[in-house]
A and B are shown apart, each in its own frame.
Chain A
Amino acid sequence: MRHLLAIEQLSREEIEAILDRSESFAEVGRRDIKKVPTLRGRTVVSLFYESSTRTSSSFELAAKRLSADLVSVKAAGSSVEKGESLKDTVATLSAYDPAAIVIRHPHAGAAQMVAGWTSAAVVNAGDGKHEHPSQALLDVFTLRRRLDSLDGKRIWIVGDVLHSRVARSNLIAFQRMGAQVTVCGPPTLIPREIEALGCEVSHSLDRLGEADVVYALRMQQERMSESFVPSIREYAARFQIGSRRLGPRQLLMHPGPVNRGVELSGEVIDSPQSLIGEQVAAGLVVRMAILYELLAGGERPEPVDDDGVAEHPTPIGQPA
């Protein structure tokens, strides 16, 4: 794996390899010393053109846990605000000879373009409404831990599918791991011809009971002014996942941040069925695994002593 640009480009085996690697980092995370020397002396650039809390912080912490040097660039307050093109920004940052560039951008295909302009490994941390592959991987990781396998499981993705990169990446990832996916929402928020991706489409929650997992998406207030829904109140009445709609054996997921009382009721967020907290925790280890697979693939992580020297430094520099 040279870059992580889209789930679409990963086979089931490649997804499983990242999940297995994530498990070993989860084990590292239970040790006193959570840091491994794998990427010591190498640089990871985090380049975020959109605001982000969990994705940027978990990628940055993942890079630090792997002992990489981290350069974090946010569009606000940077040369981007002065009109520098993406190509020039990437050229500038590439001068630091980074091993990886993690990029979040408001437009589809940005990460792929960056991959053509740099020798660094490129990680797509979200490109427009297109893909968010690390989110899909952490969601599959979270589910696999709970369910052992996604084979034959039914997963409903509910809400604003049209504007959601998470929906697209997860739809592909869940299916690739053997699950059956239904997307559900009002017709205005379901992309035309999405069935071509292999999922079913529902415009009501009537059959939600068949789902093993309910994956709710964030519903943004501005969808009302854009007339995608008549009102948030009506949307919530028809599509909110609340305790009356969620059965006791169904698992609940959400990529965050949640609009409490819109797509999810307060009580289901805090219920034992909710995996939302586990998703966030998984974000760190899965993103460590992604960086590891791209930059050091094939080697096992080892803990380091407090002085930062491992007994057997992990060979680096030869991507698998």
Chain B
Amino acid sequence: MSLAEVLDMRSGEGANAILRGARVLDPAAGIDGVHDVVIRDGRIAELAPPGAGLAAGAEEVEAGGLHAFPGFFDPHVHLRTPGQEHKEDIETGTRAAAAGGYCGILAMANAVPPVCTAADIGALRERARAEASVPVGFLATVTGGMRGEELTEMVDLREAGAVGFSDDGLPIVSARIMRRALQYQRLCGGTLALHEEDPELSGEGAMHEGAVSAALGITGIPSVSESTAIARDAALAAYEGGRIHVQHLSAAESVETVRSAKAAGVHLSAEVTPHHLCLTDEAVRSLDPGRFKMNPPLRAEGDRQALIEGLRQGTIECIATDHAPHTAEEKEVPFEQAAMGVTGLETAFAAIHTDLVLPGTLELGLVIERMAGGAAPFGFERPSLAPGSEANVALCDLSAEWTAGEDGYESRSLNSWCAGRRLRGRVLMTLAGGQIAYRLRTFSLGVAR
């Protein structure tokens, strides 16, 4: 089923457009060539030879020199709704997603109060159908109030449309509760998305434990705080035959733990964020919490290399932003006191393109595949440009240079880890769930013939 059918978005007309002469790249579908992408009634009707696509009644987009990718899918977004709409809401968060080329996102449940009941899920879905620019799915918490003490009504939540379960923001400390959730998953389905951290080891830590934390005198969060938690949950998932998705890997030890668990046949998937792929704890020397404080923390160069290699090998199947909006007041305080989290939806592709694709570290095709790789772990159809697919397209100018934040953000918050950075590669237009979800203001459409 297509994304618009299984997730929620604002209803609207299916797009009729033709992307004229775009370089179309969809490695998962075996597509790599220059085509007219003909979109009719919200679906990819055909990939015609350049100039041959019929444009009758369709908006015509001069896409020569531009790249058309399958829309990106982000399985890890904080929409801060309900309760913290001053940071983000469904409308602004999905607009930020559309501006980043995303055609689908999954919203975490750690709102205020946390999303714990079928009624909460129902209310969020209703708002998404009124406000969302791109298809959005909502996770429910694993435990009531994220207290880690008892399970939510997982069956009811699934029936109400929860796409999965996560206490993200907090780990599930109790192995007993984790095991019960995995057992109950056999009844209700739904992927368990896990924030892996041992709070006993993280303690009061505010950054990665290593040479930089030693120099700054800031309490460190050791890598093993993450990897030992993953190892426990992988063993429990194996024992119960469960399905888990490990969120925001940050450490080399974690990549190795995931790799060996997969080799042992455990059903688990893993994600990595653009900031963990592009930055290290060296950035924290600036003591700027707005851009560089998040959990898990930015780690050392060896960790970053292991994450890149894990992404390349497929140990990590998807890139997820962990888009986490915060107010200026929560970030305009000394590093240790500041809130954890950075926004990333609007810059994810551009940052990875700038830092990893242009220098030759990662192949463009692999990045495109991993940017859409977050759908499958939750059982959704991978966005595709193959004819017949729902129109989910990110149209990008890989030569465009821009500065993150120069024209503000679609997100309501300013705590972008890329703020002020010069980036190369920009999303000009996004089709999501068959609709035109975004176009850059300075990018004008041609007139229909």
Chain A residues close to B by CB (< 8 Å): 8, 85-87, 105, 107-110, 112-113, 127-131, 164-165, 168, 191-194, 196-197
Q: Is B214 an interface residue (CB 8 A)?
A: yes
Give the distance in Å from the alpha carbon of A162 to the alpha carbon of B252 in the complex.
25
Give the distance in Å from the alpha carbon of A283 to the alpha carbon of B284 in the complex.
31
Measured between beta carbons, the chain B residues less than 8 angstroms from A86 are 333-334
Across chains A and B, which 10 residue pairs bring their CB atoms closest together, nearest first? A129-B217, A109-B287, A196-B211, A107-B334, A191-B214, A193-B211, A130-B217, A110-B334, A194-B214, A107-B336
- Are B333 and A127 interface neighbours, CB within 8 A? no
Measured between beta carbons, the chain A residues less than 8 angstroms from B222 are 192
Interface residues of B in 302-344 (CB under 8 A from A): 329, 332-337
Q: A165-B217, A168-B215 are in contact. Are A193 and B334 (CB under 8 A)?
A: no
Of all chain B residues, the one with the shortest Cβ separation from A130 is: B217
Interface of A is mostly: mixed
Chain B residues close to A by CB (< 8 Å): 209-211, 213-220, 222, 287, 329, 332-337
- Are B332 and A85 interface neighbours, CB within 8 A? yes
Shortest CB-to-CB span from A223 to chain B, Å, is: 14
- Are B218 and A129 interface neighbours, CB within 8 A? yes
Task: Add 9 more A-B contacts to A107-B335, A107-B336, A108-B335 (CB < 8 A).
Answer: A85-B332, A108-B287, A108-B336, A109-B287, A129-B217, A129-B218, A193-B210, A193-B211, A196-B211
Measured between beta carbons, the chain A residues less than 8 angstroms from B337 are 107
Give the distance in Å from the alpha carbon of A112 to the alpha carbon of B222 in the complex.
26
- Are A197 and B214 interface neighbours, CB within 8 A? yes
Measured between beta carbons, the chain A residues less than 8 angstroms from B287 are 108-109, 112-113
- Are B334 and A108 interface neighbours, CB within 8 A? yes
Give the distance in Å from the alpha carbon of A91 to the alpha carbon of B287 in the complex.
20
Q: A109-B287, A112-B287, A165-B217 are in contact. Are A128 and B336 (CB under 8 A)?
A: yes
A-B contact pairs, 15 of them (CB 8 A): A8-B215, A85-B329, A86-B333, A87-B332, A107-B336, A107-B337, A108-B218, A108-B287, A109-B334, A127-B334, A128-B336, A130-B216, A192-B209, A192-B210, A192-B214
Measured between beta carbons, the chain A residues less than 8 angstroms from B335 are 107-109
Measured between beta carbons, the chain B residues less than 8 angstroms from A129 are 217-219
Shortest CB-to-CB span from B162 to chain A, Å, is: 38
Give the distance in Å from the alpha carbon of A168 to the alpha carbon of B212 in the complex.
12
Shortest CB-to-CB span from B11 to chain A, Å, is: 44
Give the distance in Å from the alpha carbon of A194 to the alpha carbon of B329 in the complex.
33
- Are B214 and A108 interface neighbours, CB within 8 A? no
Measured between beta carbons, the chain A residues less than 8 angstroms from B219 are 129
Shortest CB-to-CB span from B303 to chain A, Å, is: 13
Give the distance in Å from the alpha carbon of A109 to the alpha carbon of B332 in the complex.
11
Measured between beta carbons, the chain A residues less than 8 angstroms from B217 are 108, 128-131, 164-165, 168, 191
- Are A105 and B329 interface neighbours, CB within 8 A? no
Most buried by B among A87, A107, A164, A196: A107
Measured between beta carbons, the chain B residues less than 8 angstroms from A168 are 215, 217
Give the distance in Å from the alpha carbon of A11 to the alpha carbon of B222 in the complex.
32
Shortest CB-to-CB span from B24 to chain A, Å, is: 46
Measured between beta carbons, the chain B residues less than 8 angstroms from A105 are 334
Q: A108-B287, A112-B287 are in contact. Are A196 and B215 (CB under 8 A)?
A: yes
Give the distance in Å from the alpha carbon of A212 to the alpha carbon of B438 in the complex.
68
- Are B215 and A192 interface neighbours, CB within 8 A? no
Measured between beta carbons, the chain B residues less than 8 angstroms from A130 are 216-218
Give the distance in Å from the alpha carbon of A108 to the alpha carbon of B219 in the complex.
10
Of all chain A residues, the one with the shortest Cβ separation from B213 is: A191
Of all chain A residues, the one with the shortest Cβ separation from B215 is: A197
Give the distance in Å from the alpha carbon of A207 to the alpha carbon of B211 in the complex.
25
Of all chain B residues, the one with the shortest Cβ separation from A87 is: B332
Measured between beta carbons, the chain A residues less than 8 angstroms from B329 are 85
Shortest CB-to-CB span from A1 to chain B, Å, is: 19
Shortest CB-to-CB span from A156 to chain B, Å, is: 18
Shortest CB-to-CB span from A168 to chain B, Å, is: 5
Shortest CB-to-CB span from A186 to chain B, Å, is: 16
Give the distance in Å from the alpha carbon of A109 to the alpha carbon of B213 in the complex.
13
Shortest CB-to-CB span from A102 to chain B, Å, is: 16
Of all chain A residues, the one with the shortest Cβ separation from B218 is: A108
Give the distance in Å from the alpha carbon of A85 to the alpha carbon of B218 in the complex.
21
